[in-house]
Structure 1
């Protein structure tokens, strides 16, 4: 270890996201781990222990077996700790290397099982980038060094998420599991799984098999932005069986990640209508003639506001709830063009029957139906900020709390994507909010204004821009600020047709995002130390290299990462709807 490395460790400079506090000794203060290093897992630490043995163990060649009864070997100990919980919460931890007392050489003490797991992630970072590989590089019996010191840490937000859109371009199950590992490596704990859209339905529903039998495949795909003249005529599709979903959810749970499914209603539903034409507005057009959409943008084909459609989606959600234990279920609610409802006698009759003011209130009624349906089953609706329209923030009528004039239930959560304003309104009204404004954290947007960016979309949002993202607007009152439960980065895959393209758009910006939602005490955006972050990122890129992440290099795209001739959507102002 040279002097520069020693200085870095003394300031905790190699860790991403930055911890609340890190105090390391000089270069002489090191703990050596070798083949005889044991792992002593206390009650409540089983998930972290399994992860260390099955992930860090193969990378390092360390067996990390339980200690023998007589002891006497260097030990990594995992413990849950009441004092850490009282000080830092369930997800907080204290990592101590080189204990001065007679205890273990390395102690990870967490406020709860999740805290122990996040401490184990920090331990892996301190072992160096080779600990992120799948097999050891060095000779058999190689030793590993940890810097002596203490890290105390806890997350800033309880919702630290990333959305992955698998509807536009399907990602195989192994790619999803890989991204769960990448989220865990960055201490992110929510995976928003965007499973349905106009371009494909990706989850098996046994009562309605045509959703995947017909709705999961499209005949061709637009190559590039929707203004592009290019097409890929290869049929595209795929779906996850219910057993695939169970595996994904279980894999995430082992990493203390909550999987939040998204089933879009009433817009973004052309794939479902193609599978079951009676779901559409059949008095306006021949829905049986529709196909799964092969273009991008917002389809005009939306669900009919009928009792039969409501019951169909209740049956869908009954199976979804069996598969996903998450307290949150996302139902979209965004980008719902209402031309068909305006032309539909059935929709207009429903508006008159309910005494609604128009189509916006009809959409609100549609979403409120499922809001209350979920609430009665102990779940919470999450929706894009359009669900606030049509009177949903108005006070409910005490005599008819579920009637057409009723507001969203208190448990409904708002994903604020069209900037901050609607999230601010929802938080001030007492709703929990997840901030994900497209102007800051839509990672499908291009990372640079250069001509070599592959399929450039939307705003230029550099690494520095994402690092300066602030989930809590300063205009919020203290009470409302408490309703900002976190933030997420969104990855929409219209122009991401491979794992490598997803990697390029997501990294390294997701590392910057992770720090904004994890690190407690992060300064205001203008005061954040970008130089320090970029210094730590230099080390972190070596970890991403070891993990096989095809990230965007700081100097710009490599020749094989470019997409010459494929049109994007370069804009200086706000982008059109996705």
Structure 2
């Protein structure tokens, strides 16, 4: 009998990882988490001291969150304290990349990591132990817990298209905070496309004077029911870009700019038609969506064009500390190169057998420019067409085929297949608002595994990670963007961070209930249909 009682007592102290999920709302699910109910609670209040050494960014993020949502922050202290929160680096305990440990008991809270970035991730888990609802109390209870945690994938990304619809710097910062709260570490900033150029290039001012503005936008789902006739646009100055990069760096997020070539260039050609295959044509910034096979939007692969692109990329690379520059490379209609005598002569002069080889030639030339400045290119999987550039990283969006091919060629791969990772598509069979035409429900996102079964163990090592994409054709304001993003961002974060064997959709749904309360606290818009057990 005593043995039975002892066993019951022990089970009360240390919950199994299956049952602990009912007590916490931590997303993404940690590698190990154990609650100790006999240890009581840590009381967090304005008198609590914060021992952070030189870990300024994790400490500041925690204090800003406390101030924003609970009305107080903590006093920083450089000396040890018996009742407080300590942040520190310990590479001996935390041996894996990005690993942290978080322990909470009645006396103190300790977060250690193998880097400042890992400590920052520990702070995100600590935040999710705080009450998820508004409280007037000036003291908060934290449950006693021990967490050991580290990410599954090195690359954990989220994309945002600001060409179709523009979002100001204030919102971009909020977006970066959303990524930080979910332990993502890369922000893919889609800055250029047919519908607008969004970054200041001082050597080519017409890119913001002309290319950043369109004279109307289609109404409704493509091909649309009309055009609103309203001038629309905007761009980020180079000072804006620096501000965003600084803000992201404080949250350990790398900002990857995308300058999309050789297609998706109608906005460029509206300002500089001489770089197109029809240099005498009057181009306009696109007012509609879709792939422009019938409208010329490809750049002519001349020395004049490459000089222009080198000047653009030089300014971009100077601005962005990211080791990676995304150069697009997708959806280039070959018919315009076929029709162009100039392109055909370039093919002949360079012994290129077809237009796919010309596409490869174009990407190789851009890669040389980027590599010469110490950076690496990322491109959509079309950069495989005609032969992959030597050092390129492939972002596989047309399913997994491109990613599998690149991994077999020993290139890094970021998986982002449209039917699973595109959050501009509907999350319900009948959605609450206008979206792109496909159906990508929450469970589809959650169930995705970025490592294809077609790869061997050695080939699978080239799967660097995955990314969610948010294209903005039908997303014109922050409220709509949040509606499309949440809670699919939560599912993405767990796909990228948590061990595959720890993922369980029903358990994830239980934890989402707490997360929705947190979104209410943070005034983040999401579909309330998720609150009525309509989990697709």
> TM-score if structure 2 supplies the norm length?
0.92
Aligned in 2, Cα 1:72/1:208: closer, same or farther, shift over 3 Å?
closer
Does structure 2 conserve the Cα–Cα contact (< 8 Å) formed by 1:35 and 1:61? no
TM superposition shift of 1:549: 1.5
> Does residue 1:551 correspond to 2:526, yes or no?
yes
TM superposition shift of 1:227: 2.2
Counterpart of 1:74 in structure 2 is: 83
Deviations 1:350-401 (A, max 9, x none): 0000000011111110101111222222211000000000123xxxxxxxxx
Deviations 1:409-441 (A, max 9, x none): 2x3100000000110010010000000000111
Question: How far apart, in 1, do the equivalents of 2:338 and 2:322 lie?
Answer: 36
Deviations 1:203-228 (A, max 9, x none): 00000010011000101001222222
SS at match of 1:268: coil
Deviations 1:144-178 (A, max 9, x none): 11111211100011111111000011111111111
TM superposition shift of 1:27: 7.0
Counterpart of 2:63 in structure 1 is: 53
Counterpart of 2:354 in structure 1 is: 358
The range that moved more, 369-378 or 537-546, is 369-378
- Count of aligned pairs: 514
Question: How far apart, in 1, do the equivalents of 2:24 and 2:61 lie?
Answer: 25
TM superposition shift of 1:55: 2.7
Counterpart of 1:395 in structure 2 is: none
Counterpart of 1:121 in structure 2 is: 124
SS at match of 1:52: helix
TM superposition shift of 1:324: 0.7
Deviations 1:300-341 (A, max 9, x none): 321111001001010001000111100110000000012211
Question: How far apart, in 2, do the equivalents of 1:522 and 1:196 lie?
Answer: 39
Q: How does 1:232-247 map to 2 (within 5 A)?
A: 232-247=228-243
Question: How far apart, in 1, do the equivalents of 2:206 and 2:78 lie?
Answer: 56
Deviations 1:448-487 (A, max 9, x none): 112x531242321111111101100111111111100000
Counterpart of 2:470 in structure 1 is: 491
> Does residue 1:421 correspond to 2:417, yes or no?
no
Does structure 1 conserve the Cα–Cα contact (< 8 Å) formed by 2:277 and 2:340? yes
Counterpart of 1:154 in structure 2 is: 150
Counterpart of 1:402 in structure 2 is: none
Does structure 1 conserve the Cα–Cα contact (< 8 Å) formed by 2:24 and 2:129? no
Counterpart of 1:479 in structure 2 is: 458
Aligned in 2, Cα 1:16/1:193: closer, same or farther, shift over 3 Å?
same
> Does residue 1:295 correspond to 2:304, yes or no?
no
Unaligned runs of 5+ in 2: 1-11
Deviations 1:483-541 (A, max 9, x none): 00000000001111111111111111111111000102435xxxx52111101001101
Question: How far apart, in 2, do the equivalents of 1:340 and 1:10 lie?
Answer: 56
> Does residue 1:42 correspond to 2:21, yes or no?
no
SS at match of 1:494: coil
Question: How far apart, in 2, do the equivalents of 1:515 and 1:200 lie?
Answer: 33
Counterpart of 1:207 in structure 2 is: 203
From 436, 446, 459, give the equivalent of 2:416.
436
Counterpart of 1:15 in structure 2 is: 26
SS at match of 1:221: coil
Counterpart of 1:530 in structure 2 is: 505
Q: How does 1:147-226 map to 2 (within 5 A)?
A: 147-226=143-222
Question: How far apart, in 1, do the equivalents of 2:174 and 2:386 lie?
Answer: 40
Does structure 1 conserve the Cα–Cα contact (< 8 Å) formed by 2:21 and 2:511? no
Counterpart of 1:412 in structure 2 is: 392
Question: How far apart, in 2, do the equivalents of 1:335 and 1:384 lie?
Answer: 9
Aligned in 2, Cα 1:415/1:225: closer, same or farther, shift over 3 Å?
same
Aligned in 2, Cα 1:12/1:488: closer, same or farther, shift over 3 Å?
farther
SS at match of 1:78: strand
Counterpart of 1:569 in structure 2 is: none
The range that moved more, 6-15 or 366-375, is 6-15
Aligned in 2, Cα 1:456/1:54: closer, same or farther, shift over 3 Å?
closer
SS at match of 1:342: helix
> TM-score if structure 1 supplies the norm length?
0.86
Counterpart of 1:567 in structure 2 is: none
Counterpart of 1:98 in structure 2 is: 105
> Does residue 1:138 correspond to 2:136, yes or no?
yes
> Does residue 1:516 correspond to 2:457, yes or no?
no
TM superposition shift of 1:290: 1.4
TM superposition shift of 1:53: 2.2
CA root-mean-square deviation: 2.0
Question: How far apart, in 2, do the equivalents of 1:435 and 1:543 lie?
Answer: 29
Does structure 2 conserve the Cα–Cα contact (< 8 Å) formed by 1:11 and 1:24? no
Unaligned runs of 5+ in 1: 131-135, 393-407, 558-578
Does structure 1 conserve the Cα–Cα contact (< 8 Å) formed by 2:151 and 2:498? yes
SS at match of 2:439: coil
TM superposition shift of 1:65: 1.4
Counterpart of 1:562 in structure 2 is: none
TM superposition shift of 1:15: 0.7
From 479, 483, 500, give the equivalent of 1:500.
479
Deviations 1:278-312 (A, max 9, x none): 111136xx33x111110111233211110010010
Question: How far apart, in 1, do the equivalents of 2:462 and 2:241 lie?
Answer: 30
Question: How far apart, in 1, do the equivalents of 2:101 and 2:392 lie?
Answer: 34
TM superposition shift of 1:555: 4.6
SS at match of 2:490: helix
Deviations 1:68-123 (A, max 9, x none): 75x6552100001112342x22x110001128xxxx71111011011000000111
